[in-house]
Amino acid sequence: MLFLLPPSESKRIGGKPLNIQDVALTFGALNPARTEVMNTLLEICSDRDAAARALKLTPKQHTMIDVNLAVNEAPIMPALMRYTGTLYDALVGDGLNATEMLRAKQQVLIQSALFGLIPSTDLIPNYRMSASTNLPSIKLRELWSTAHSLVWPRLTGLIIDLRSKSYVALAPIPAGIQSYYVDVVVELADGTRRPLNHFNKKSKGLFVRAMLQAAEPPMTMDDLRRIAETANLGFEVSGSTITLVSPGLV
């Protein structure tokens, strides 16, 4: 069973004194697309005004252009530790032990707009780019959708898709690949349910963290239900959708 996460806009700086040229990202079939996206991003970042528009940067965020220009020489760290924000803060918490990191390597994938699909422990630098970035010479959805069509069939196991809709659109899982999309709703005191972004992200992070800490890796829907209960989340399945129900207290 594989758990597929989106990346995060916010990232931790620093890392090992190596750079992206020193590592080989998993799923080499994506390398031509990765190179095309990377080269195009670097090209647009050479024009600071164009880069600010493409990356939707505020004036205070223009330093991210320099971050991108240095991406090939920047230090690296596992993607799971690079990303921060609500989902990843809930997932990583105070840190993951060696056993949990090993399970993350084996079962947790992250799909970004710059690197495509990678295991969560692949080493990546800091960068700025998202699914909504507009690179004028590239149609990101077309490029990544085509590139990932070579990778999805190679994955083994049921995919639990926890991505946001923008990343689902960037590289949709083909109909022939068994997967469940995860939605999150918050149950309020009056019994009504609402989709709220903060609880969506935090609940997904807590769910995956509980999976990493489970005594055995999940094999069935009942296993996932027990994992959700460990994270204080309700668990419902309808068709190919899993709904996590948050009590609104996380």
Under-70 pLDDT residues of the chain: 249-250
Dihedral angle over CA of 166, 65, 118, 20, nearest 10: 170
Q: Which pLDDT belongs to residue 12?
A: 97
For residue range 60-99, what is the model confidence (pLDDT) as tens digits? 999 999 999 999 999 999 999 999 999 999 999 999 999 9
Distance separating the N- and C-terminal Cα atoms of the chain: 26
Contact 65, 52 (CB under 8 A): yes
Please identify which residue in the block is written with the tokens 């991003």.
41
Q: Which pLDDT score, from 0 to 100, does residue 249 have? A: 55
* Tokens read off for 59: 């004036």
Distance CA 232, CA 230 (A): 5
Kindly state the percentage of the chain with pLDDT values over 70: 99
Model-level pTM?
0.95
pLDDT of residue 57: 95
Q: What percent of the chain has pLDDT over 90?
A: 90
* Residue 207 near residue 246 (C-beta atoms within 8 A): no
Q: Which residues sit opposite 244 in a β-bridge? A: 184, 235
Give pLDDT tens digits for 178-189: 999 999 999 888
